[in-house]
Amino acid sequence: MTQKQPIHHLPTMTHAAYFKIAQKVSPTSIPVLVYGESGVGKDVLARHIHTTSARKGDYVPINAAGLSRELAASELFGHTQGAFTGAEHEKAGAFHKADKGTLFLDEIAELSLATQAELLRTLESGKVRKVGDSQEEQVDVRIISATHQNLAHMVEQKTFRKDLYHRLCVLPITIPPLRQRKSDLQYLTQMFLRDFSPQHHLSQNALSKILHYAWPGNIRELKNTLVRSVLMATTDQLDAKDIKLIGTVNPSNNSWEQLITPFIFATYAQTNGNVAQTAKELGLRRSVIYKHIHAKNKNLF
C-alpha cells in the first residue's frame, strides 16, 4: 500500500463553492459524481476528496473511456488464470487495489450497459467477483465518478442504467469551465510557470492575452500552452507574441516546426502510435499530428 501524498499547490479555487462541498463530504464515504468539461480538473477534485479523507487505502484512477468492452470487467474486477484467452496469470482489479481507499471512475458514461450492470452489483453488495471465479471478495471502496456528459439525459435515452445513476449521483458536484474562473486562471498560470520554469514570467500583455482567451481545453490546454510558450521563448519574459494558443499557432512557421516535431514523435511513440492521445497530451489538433506523420512517412520513401 502506498502512503497518501498531500496535494501541493492547490489553487485558490479551494475556496470555490465546489471545493467547500468537497471538504464537507470528504470525511464520509458517500459516492460523489463530478460533472465538468474535459480538462477542468475533475481528477484534482477527486484526489483532494481522497487525500483529505480518513481512508487508509490508495487512490486508484480509472479512465472508463480507455476500457475496451471485452476487458472492462477484468480491469475493474480482476480475473482468474485462464478466465479467457490471454489470461495467463491471476490479476487483481481496480476494486481490489482501491480497497479501503477511493476508486475514481473518470468518463463513467463510456461504460457499456453490461459493465454498468456488473458495477451496480458490486456497489450494492460491496463484493467483487473476478472474471472466471465463482467466489466473491468483500471490499471497502469509496466511489467518485466523473463525466462531461448529461447522465440524466442518458438515463432517459436508456444508454445509462437508471439504478446505477442513482447509486453514483448521491452528491453531484459541477466544476465550472476555466473561462468562468478568471481568478483561478491567473493563479494557475503563475503556478504552472513556477513549477515548469521559475525563471520565466509574463508581461502584462501576455497575461491579458491569457485572461481573454476562452480555453476550450480548460486546465490541460492552459498547461500545454505555457509549456510550448516557454520552450519557444527567446527571453525570460513571455510577451503576448510568445503565448502560442492553439488557434494562433502557424504550422508553416519554420521555428515552430523545428521545435514541435521532436515532441510530436516522442509523444507519438510513448502513446504507442495513438494520434488522439498524442494530440491531447500536446494540446494540438489531430490534423497537425497527422500532417507530421504523413510528412515523415513520405520522406522515408
Residues 74-132 pLDDT 10s: 899 988 877 777 777 888 889 999 999 999 999 999 999 999 999 999 999 999 988 88
Res 8: pLDDT: 36
The domain of 187 spans: 178-242
Res 117: pLDDT: 95
Q: Give the helix/strand (H/E) hosting 243.
A: none
Considering the domain architecture, whether residues 145 and 61 belong to the same structural domain is answered as: yes
Q: Helices then strands (H, E): number in the chain?
A: 13, 9
Task: Give me 125's grid cell.
Answer: 453488495
Q: Rounded to 5 degrees, what angle do the CA atoms 232, 233, 236 make?
A: 150
Contact call for residues 35 and 146 (beta carbons, < 8 A): yes
Res 259: pLDDT: 58
Q: State which residues of the chain have pLDDT below 50.
A: 1-15, 300-301
5 is a domain residue? no
Domain count, the chain: 3
Number of residues that this document lists for the chain: 301
7 is a domain residue? no
Q: Which of 123, 146, 174 is the last residue of a domain?
A: 174
Q: Looking at residue 229, which CATH number applies to its domain?
A: 1.10.8.60
Considering the domain architecture, whether residues 95 and 152 belong to the same structural domain is answered as: yes
Q: What's the gap between Cα 234 and its chain centre?
A: 32
Considering the domain architecture, whether residues 19 and 92 belong to the same structural domain is answered as: yes
Res 293: pLDDT: 81
73 is a domain residue? yes
Taking the CA atoms of the chain, what radius of gyration do you get in angstroms? 22
Cβ atoms within 10 A of the Cβ of 225, count? Answer: 22
Res 22: pLDDT: 81
Distance CA 77, CA 130 (A): 5
Res 158: pLDDT: 96
| Cα distances (Å, whole numbers) of residue 58 to 87, 138, 240 | 25, 16, 42
Considering the domain architecture, whether residues 76 and 151 belong to the same structural domain is answered as: yes
183 is a domain residue? yes
Considering the domain architecture, whether residues 116 and 93 belong to the same structural domain is answered as: yes
